[in-house]
Amino acid sequence: MTADIGALDLEEAGAVLAAEAARFASFGWMRGTSGNLSVVLSRDPLRLAVTASGRDKGELTAADVVLVDGRGAAVRGGRPSAEAALHARVAALTGAGAVVHVHTVASVAMGRRAPGGIVLRDLEILKGVGQPAHDVDVLLPVIANSQDMTELGDRLEAARNPRMPAVVVAGHGLYVWGADPRQARHHTEVVEWLLELELTGR
Ligand SMILES: [Zn+2]
């Protein structure tokens, strides 16, 4: 479990998330206002700052952020995405301090190709998600999509690999988490790299 990020207020969190979103948008991973990012501001009660819904993720400001509770409901700020509920579920389930959700082409394509999960092995970059680089199969789970965040959260909880900080949602995109926004970003970059390799390498 990560410690509370007591020093980070909502606006500071908004600035951090805006910078992260601009980077992901520049990669083409948050097209057409898709995706959302969050950071945990307190554990008890669980409170997360989540990027505001419907905004261009390359143009967010520190104010484009919503404070949500453990069910993803707004406590302060504007309208959160329905997906905020899944961010809260991931943070509660995994102890993550930050969650990234992006709609990448590689995650959707690989979710379609490997609906039972993606097995990765013998790749140096697996170290970037805390996995052995040799001789061990590493499962990146794939779950079916749903518009019901409770159902989607149940699927994520049932399928998740505790050793892998990511889940692919078929026909949708990718959820990745880490101890803080920087680690969540690094995990996202590594997982996306792995998905692109699987997609192009076969
Ligand atoms: Zn989404």
Give the chain's domains with CATH numbers.
5-201 (3.40.225.10)
- Model pLDDT for residues 178-191, shown as the tens digit of each residue: 999 999 999 999 99
Task: Tell me the CA–centroid distance for residue 101 and ligand 1, in Å.
Answer: 6
Q: How is residue 174 written in tokens?
A: 């990718």
Q: What's the rounded Cα separation, in Å, for the pair 89 and 50?
A: 13
* 145 CA distance to ligand 1 middle (Å): 10
Instruction: Compute how many other C-beta atoms are within 10 angstroms of the C-beta atom of residue 188.
Output: 30
This prediction's pTM: 0.94
pLDDT classification of 7: cutoffs 50, 70, 90: low
- In terms of Cα–Cα distance, which of 100, 98, 70 is closest to 179? 98
Q: How far is the CA of 43 from the centre of ligand 1 (A)?
A: 24
Q: Tell me how far the alpha carbon of residue 177 lies from the centroid of ligand 1, in angstroms.
A: 15
Instruction: Give residue-wise pLDDT tens across range 162-171.
Output: 999 999 999 9
Taking the centre of ligand 1 as the mean of its atom positions, its distance from the CA of residue 183, in whole angstroms, is 20
Q: What is the pLDDT of residues 140-161, one digit of tens each?
A: 999 999 999 999 999 999 999 9
Q: How far is the CA of 172 from the centre of ligand 1 (A)?
A: 6
pLDDT digits (tens, 9 = 90+) for 67-100: 999 999 999 888 888 899 999 999 999 999 999 9
Q: What band does 2 get if pLDDT is binned at 50, 70 and 90?
A: very low
